[in-house]
Amino acid sequence: MRFLAVMILTLSINCIYGESGFPHYFNKGEVKEMMQKAGSEGKLFFIDFYADWCTPCKWMDQTVFSDKEVEQMLTENYIPIKVNIDEIEGFELKQKYKVGVLPTIMVFNSKGQVVERIEETMNVDELLKMLILHNNPNNKVKIKHDFNVSPGGNKDQLAKREMTQAYLRYIESESRQNKNYRLQMGMYYDYQSAFDKVETLKRTFLEPIIVVNDIKDEKVRFKVMMGEFQTMSEAESFQKILHDDFSIESIIN
């Protein structure tokens, strides 16, 4: 019976959450592509800005976006998408829309015009009230968006290079603000592998574990980091324990 209960719970969770860790009904793809989809279908466009380290964002995923009424309202009347500000496209949108706090929710009508901006956590009732308010025919006119997709040559390449450099400076700045030492337990080029590593470590260790993103050769890398040590000697002591007692290699960052 215990096995069946665990299996049923696991199946229920998988029905709500996809591989990305948030409710499955959020669309995948670039923002321009999803905004075009909203226009062609005559739906509103919904962006939820988040980060993997954002606890309030995870709370909304587990308690608000998993609500059946919220899911029905978003899937029937909106094109919802999540944007990770720690990924390069998310960083560009963060800069463009001046996202300074998380979570930030933005709602656009089918024409691509902003009709709502929320910079705080919301409960189910608050979110539903806002979604219902904007779900009116004036905000849901079918329209074709003509985004400029033609190559811009050197000018576009320069703009892309500048944005990439700004993103790397942002990642470096965020890293410098963290004065604690951590142990790098692994590095991956896909989030699912990093997530699997985190789950494996959690079964053995109680130390805090985070996933840090950076970019190399225009590819996003995910570094699994464990611990929050105040001094280098503390980090080295724990690194030795990992090596001697668990045969686990790590790098101090």
Whose tokens are 């779900």? That residue is 135
Of the chain, the percentage scoring pLDDT greater than 70 comes to 77
* pLDDT tens digits along 116-129: 999 988 999 999 99
pLDDT at 71 over 70: yes
The alpha carbons of the chain give a radius of gyration, in whole angstroms, of 21
Q: CA torsion, points 104, 127, 130, 93, in degrees to nearest 10?
A: 20
Residues with Cβ within 8 Å of 20's Cβ and at least 6 positions away in sequence, in order, are 26, 28, 82, 191
Question: Roughly how many angstroms between the first and final C-alpha of the chain, as a whole number?
Answer: 45
* pLDDT tens digits along 219-244: 778 889 998 887 787 788 889 889 98
Flag whether the pTM goes above 0.75.
Answer: no
pLDDT band at 49, cuts 50/70/90?
very high
